[in-house]
Structure 1
Amino acid sequence: MTQALSRRSMLHGSAAFAMTSLLTGGYGTVAVSEDRAARRTNLTLRVQEANGRPTYNGHSPGPTIVADPGDTIDVHLINDLPALHDDCADNHNSFHGLNTTNLHTHGLHVSPITDSSGRFDADNVFISVVPKNQVVPCAEVGSEGARTFRWHENRFRFETGADHPSGTFWYHAHKHGSTFQQVAAGLSGPLIIRDRPGVMPEYIAQASEKILMIMNQGLVLTDPNGGGTVDPTITMRPGEVQRWRIINAQAVGNSFAYLRTNVPGLEIYQIAFDGLTLHRRIKVDQGNDDEPWLNPAGLAPGNRTDFIVRVPPDAKESSFSIPVIRDLREALGLSGAIASEIKIDISGSPMNSAWSDDDTLPGPGLEPFNDVPRSTREIVFSPQFRIDGQAYDGRVKHTIPLGAKEEWTAYNNTGGVHAFHIHVNPFFMTHINGIELAKDDPLRRWQDTVGLPYGDDSPGSVTFRTRFETFAGRFVIHCHILRHEDLGMMQTVEVTG
């Protein structure tokens, strides 16, 4: 396809690379703490109604899951929603099975299949956990892609490898036909893989942390046990350094998000994207608001970013707000943009927080991907919520051998907004609209979700490279504007070997 769209200029950061002790595995080369035994994290998530909408354990967002690289995360998911008996829709690319659910760990590099014992499912979105007493007399899609139904409860096991990157991830419901309505209602929560000791610079390791989820109900400062404060006030002292982990958990159309960060009294640096640490921190400003897919700190639905926020030591007491723009209407010159705000209160005695003028960071722990793979693949996001002109039918569209390295180009031929997401394996961005990203471009990075540019006269596109390593099995690619996914903008991938 020809490319007629321009590539705007943007912020730049270098690709310096620093490591401590190393372990090489199928997922890359990472810094590890070799003397720490892997643990098991156990959690019960009970899906139940509260205030007229589904929640995890009575809260939205759900509790924060925290683990270390190499840990096993066991989740007992119990579906206590009322039975609706609506799983058997004539058109499975419609809103149906609205109280049937499952669990997806967004961004984790974990198995997509049921384990050999049959007792635990991993990141298997073909599992449907129906309410107690629900009647399901049908297979939801064709025989090749038929779902497996579990009644009332299910046990999930997510085994992170010792080489799994640390970072900000999240979990959410992902049953085709109810994903949009459940995530829009707030059925999601943070998932943090902690940094390995001694890897991050001291000023990051010592910083207090805030987890902020941009949700359909507003911007939420999360509580570790679930729930949180909408449109919060964050108090900081002069000289204080905080780490903000921000998750765009919105599910509706146009729900790209970005912070207006040109505010007095704060220094804001981006240090990670989609859970993966950058090679160099980037000073964040207001640039590229009109095209958020060109803004290194812009968030498509599903994206995450980590900021280091510093109050200068000589700052005076003050209060102000950071606007959080939550959709594209303002960028497109339209009125009615949805916005939240983070209220900042600078007060109290000065702190002597650790700080460094060195921008270098340890990087994501994934091996560089500079060689062009021989195997290439193209997909086209098409009108009427289709990919390659076809609505989701459950059948495998891409068969890929385990260990393959491929270069993909995803085109947006709709004239509207979409966000590409792939399960299990992240990808390394190389081109936008056919124009190669410079080696030091901050958008030349690893991620798992990307907003697709679009144009009036020709398709927009992104090109990326990815490795299908470690795990065989079936999983999906789809638009992470989740209404579009439920209406058919999804395909099945099978890695064999």
Structure 2
Amino acid sequence: MMAARTAAPPCVTVAWESSVSSHARRTLSVFGPALLALALAAGCKATPPTDVPGRAGPSPTAPWAMTPSPALTARATEDLRDPPEIVSRGGLLRTRIVVERKKVFLAGRVLWALTYNGLYMPPTLRLRPGDRMEIEFDNRLEQRTNLHVHGLHVSPGGAADNVFLDVQPGKTFTYSYTFPKDLAPGTYWYHPHPHGLSTAQTAGGMSGLIVVDGLDRFLPASLRGVTEHVVALKDFQLLGDQIKTLGLKMSAPTTRTVDGQLNPRIHIRPGETQLWRIANIGANIFYKVALPGTRLHVVAQDGFPVNKVYAADSLVVPAGARYDVLVQGPRAGTSELVTLPFSSGRAGSKAGNQFPRATLATVESGGTPVRAAALPTRFAPVTDLGTEPVAGRKTITFTENRAGTAFFINGRQFDHHRVDFRSRLGTVEEWTIRNDSDEIHSFHVHTNNFQVMRINGERQTNHGLQDTVDVPPRGTMVIRIRFLDYTGTTVLHCHIMNHEDSGMMSVLRIDK
């Protein structure tokens, strides 16, 4: 099924071969030439940097092992640019992704990055429930890779969401997905998932968003068609003129971007309601997102609409998680969208990491004020697995060694040849996820989403299904999960990719 690449790659690839929306065409027409000029000026024929994942033989004193440069900061001088979109037409989204190491213009610098079609922030793939998606995936890296559509309910086998499949260097593979008609509307994302390389490739820049349309139907008529923004949280550690991909430490200085921009301006009128799709599409770090003085009204989490809209002053967003929120413009003036200080370790322990406060974007509220709309309270119907009979129970225990360099599930490290858990199609199971360590681990399972029942014994409000949830240090989380539609072999793991790549992943087999 895989064909060898027969032509040398062009110096720059900025066009996506697909049904491109008018917004995408405008974006590419404006920024494509600039990206091309910058890449040419930067010298596409230059010797690649030493920090290349999969490249053999750097010594411990090579640049990839060094401490990264300080995090970059900037004044808000440019407006937020939502990524261009690739939109399904007639029930089909067809596109091409070229994976390669390129120089990109990022945070005011020209940097080496791992890119999809030459872009650090690639287009958003936009589709509807029941659609099909075909992606011609061309690997021009010097190492294997693959593609995972995070959170989507789709087959884990064959040419679909198959993380056991590797696309080798110089090869092209066509992914083909058929989504169910009841696919939940919301925000998802895509990224690489080759075991041992997921961290390096995602941290290097390989991630983008997927939007499943249909959330509008749960909004009151007055809020349908409101201004919508992607708030894709992507972070990188800087090493000279390259994004660091090897030897990553979560506590190291890290530059945080929104849609690949450093502190962009988000415009809103006082009282105006906007929909923001907040998604952590990085490899490892946590965000505690807040817009001080303005509450975030959650309408969907991890791609699933909620049953009741709830408001939060801040949202903890681990790597992989998403929240769709309604935001109403504050009084005229300037405020900052920030990530607040956050610790992933147990109080009193030396485990985990401390994440500092950082500015993500500058929100400028101005123009003619509008009357703030009444926000909905009741929203969408949700699945309640709490009333379902339980066919089986499992315990999944996260542990790590004292040095924090090796990670385990039920005392074992990942082996793709071994099936760790078996479940049966059409049943509901109750799982207890134990975290026997002093730092947070983020639980994620492919193919089917789950309902959180209890955390540390405390019953949780059922706002809807999720796919990436933090398990507190020395704590437990009880979930229920239903196995629908698809049999096959899939995985569950900690979504802190440093931990996943270091062993904290297991194989789940779903049988008829």
TM-score band (shorter)?
A: 0.7 to 0.9
Tell me which residue corresponds to 2:288.
258
Give the 3 Å change call, closer, same or farther, for CA 300–58 of structure 1 in structure 2.
Answer: same
Report the Cα distance in structure 1 between the residues aligned to 2:133 and 2:355, rounded to whole angstroms: 41
- Report how far residue 358 of structure 1 moved: 3.7
- Report how far residue 305 of structure 1 moved: 0.4
Runs of 4+ in structure 1 deviating by more than 4 angstroms, as ranges, are 329-336
- 1:396-475, aligned counterparts within 5 Å? 396-437=419-460, 441=461, 445-455=464-474, 460-475=475-490
Tell me which residue corresponds to 2:388.
371
Q: Which amino acid aligns with 2:129?
A: P
- 1:64-463, aligned counterparts within 5 Å? 64-81=124-141, 83=142, 99-114=143-158, 121-132=159-170, 152-195=171-214, 198-217=217-236, 218-222=255-259, 228-252=260-284, 255-261=285-291, 263-264=292-293, 266-286=294-314, 297-311=315-329, 315=331, 317-325=332-340, 328=343, 337=356, 339-351=358-370, 355-364=373-382, 366=383, 368-383=385-400, 384-394=406-416, 395-437=418-460, 441=461, 445-455=464-474, 460-463=475-478
Between 1:332-341 and 1:231-240, the stretch displaced more is: 332-341
Report the Cα distance in structure 1 between the residues aligned to 2:215 and 2:335, rounded to whole angstroms: 35
Contact 2:428 2:480 in 1 (8 A): yes
Report the Cα distance in structure 2 between the residues aligned to 1:107 and 1:179, rounded to whole angstroms: 16
Contact 1:408 1:463 in 2 (8 A): yes
Report the Cα distance in structure 2 between the residues aligned to 1:468 and 1:367, rounded to whole angstroms: 14
Give the 3 Å change call, closer, same or farther, for CA 246–375 of structure 1 in structure 2.
Answer: same
Q: Which amino acid aligns with 1:180?
A: T
Report the Cα distance in structure 1 between the residues aligned to 2:488 and 2:161, rounded to whole angstroms: 10
Contact 1:326 1:340 in 2 (8 A): no
Report the Cα distance in structure 2 between the residues aligned to 1:198 and 1:447, rounded to whole angstroms: 20
Does residue 101 of structure 2 align to residue 49 of structure 1?
Answer: yes
Report the Cα distance in structure 2 between the residues aligned to 1:481 and 1:55, rounded to whole angstroms: 21
Report the Cα distance in structure 2 between the residues aligned to 1:205 and 1:330, rounded to whole angstroms: 41
Tell me which residue corresponds to 1:485.
500
Give the 3 Å change call, closer, same or farther, for CA 232–453 of structure 1 in structure 2.
Answer: same
- What SS does structure 1 have at the residue aligned with 2:166? strand
Report the Cα distance in structure 1 between the residues aligned to 2:204 and 2:98, rounded to whole angstroms: 15
Q: Which amino acid aligns with 1:404?
A: T
Could you list the runs of 5+ residues in structure 1 that have no partner in the other structure? 1-35, 84-98, 115-120, 133-151, 223-227, 287-296
- What SS does structure 2 have at the residue aligned with 1:180? helix
Contact 1:267 1:311 in 2 (8 A): no
Could you list the runs of 5+ residues in structure 2 that have no partner in the other structure? 1-87, 104-111, 237-254, 401-405
Contact 2:187 2:209 in 1 (8 A): yes
- Report how far residue 373 of structure 1 moved: 1.1
- What SS does structure 2 have at the residue aligned with 1:216? strand
Deviations 1:351-392 (A, max 9, x none): 467x2244121244x455433514111110122301000111
Report the Cα distance in structure 1 between the residues aligned to 2:334 and 2:329, rounded to whole angstroms: 12
Report the Cα distance in structure 2 between the residues aligned to 1:477 and 1:462, rounded to whole angstroms: 15
Q: Which amino acid aligns with 1:45?
A: I
Contact 2:295 2:313 in 1 (8 A): no
Contact 2:346 2:473 in 1 (8 A): no
- Report how far residue 158 of structure 1 moved: 1.7
- What SS does structure 1 have at the residue aligned with 2:201? helix
Q: Alignment length, in residue pairs?
A: 389
Q: Which has the higher contact order (CA 8 A, sep 6+)?
A: 1
TM-score (norm 2): 0.72
Contact 1:257 1:328 in 2 (8 A): no
- Report how far residue 200 of structure 1 moved: 2.8
More helix, by proportion: 2
- Report how far residue 237 of structure 1 moved: 1.1
Contact 1:475 1:494 in 2 (8 A): yes
Identity of aligned residues (%): 30
- Report how far residue 487 of structure 1 moved: 1.1
TM-score (norm 1): 0.74
- Report how far residue 484 of structure 1 moved: 0.9
Report the Cα distance in structure 2 between the residues aligned to 1:425 and 1:61, rounded to whole angstroms: 27
